[in-house]
């Protein structure tokens, strides 16, 4: 029976081995060697149960629990290299999840470059999680969009509206759903068009085509209703 139980332990069938050791102990209750082997089989059986639990927690994404469970398994079966490797994987995934949470918060505060770096660290720890690489790429895109937005704002301050539109358009290639950039781009496009029409109307005025000039000034005002210069010039054209 002892040999049978040892064979069962060899194939990892510790629960069955415990029953076989118990039968052997019933025949030889004072056998210290069988008692020791039976206790070792019991430890390994519990370690195997904890390993399965830890693997289930790992698969469910409950990495912190998986770490605790697999460490408990290792305490019972310290030489189990498979459990040791699984525990290391759980630790890395747990840390990666913490880093992802930090990066998510950075994104909320528009700290896109910091977020990209943190997503990258998380991805290095959890190499199977391709979503982390996508999040990193998205953060880098948003950082580039913000950089181009700043260029557009600078062009707006310089009243170079066509250049501002170009910068905002490029920014939207990186962050196409950014409502703020979309609004600024549209505002600049309207102002740029209004200035283009204003120049056209002034040329018409200079050529004595006053009726055309009025129409063109009015079209410019549709693009930029707050442009007082255009409004004044349109009134002057009407008087001609």
In this prediction, residues 27-34 reach a mean pLDDT of 90
pTM of the model: 0.78
Residue 142, CA distances (Å) to 149, 151, 178, 185, 214 in order = 10, 14, 9, 16, 43
Q: Are the CB atoms for 50 and 73 separated by under 8 Å?
A: yes
Q: What is the pLDDT of residues 203-232, one digit of tens each?
A: 999 999 999 999 999 999 999 999 999 999
CB atoms within 10 A of CB 52: 12
What's the token pair of residue 67?
Answer: 């770490």
CB atoms within 10 A of CB 175: 20
What's the token pair of residue 84?
Answer: 């040791």
Name the residue with tokens 């969009």.
145
Residue 157, CA distances (Å) to 147, 153, 161 in order = 16, 6, 9
Q: What is the pLDDT of residues 165-209, one digit of tens each?
A: 999 999 999 999 999 999 999 999 999 999 999 999 999 999 999
């Amino acid at each position: 029976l002892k040999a049978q139980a040892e064979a069962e332990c060899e194939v990892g069938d510790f629960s069955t081995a415990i029953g076989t050791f118990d039968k052997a102990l019933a025949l030889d209750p004072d056998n210290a060697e069988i008692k020791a082997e039976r206790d070792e089989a019991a430890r390994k059986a519990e370690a195997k149960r904890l390993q399965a639990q830890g693997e289930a927690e790992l698969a469910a994404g409950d990495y912190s629990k998986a770490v605790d469970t697999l460490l408990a398994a290792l305490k019972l079966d310290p030489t189990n290299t498979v459990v040791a490797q699984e525990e290391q994987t759980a630790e890395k995934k747990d840390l990666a999840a913490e880093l992802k949470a930090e990066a998510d918060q950075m994104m909320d505060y528009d700290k896109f470059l910091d977020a990209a770096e943190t997503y990258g660290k998380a991805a290095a720890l959890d190499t199977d999680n391709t979503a982390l690489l996508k999040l990193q790429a998205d953060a880098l895109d948003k950082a580039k969009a913000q950089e181009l937005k700043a260029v557009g704002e600078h062009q707006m301050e310089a009243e170079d509206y066509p250049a501002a539109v170009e910068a905002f358009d490029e920014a939207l290639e990186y962050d196409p759903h950014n409502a703020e950039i979309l609004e600024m781009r549209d505002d600049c496009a309207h102002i740029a068009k209004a200035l283009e029409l204003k120049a056209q109307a002034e040329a018409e005025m200079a050529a004595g085509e006053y009726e055309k000039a009025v129409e063109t000034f009015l079209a410019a005002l549709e693009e930029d209703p707050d442009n007082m210069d255009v409004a004044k010039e349109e009134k002057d054209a009407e008087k001609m």
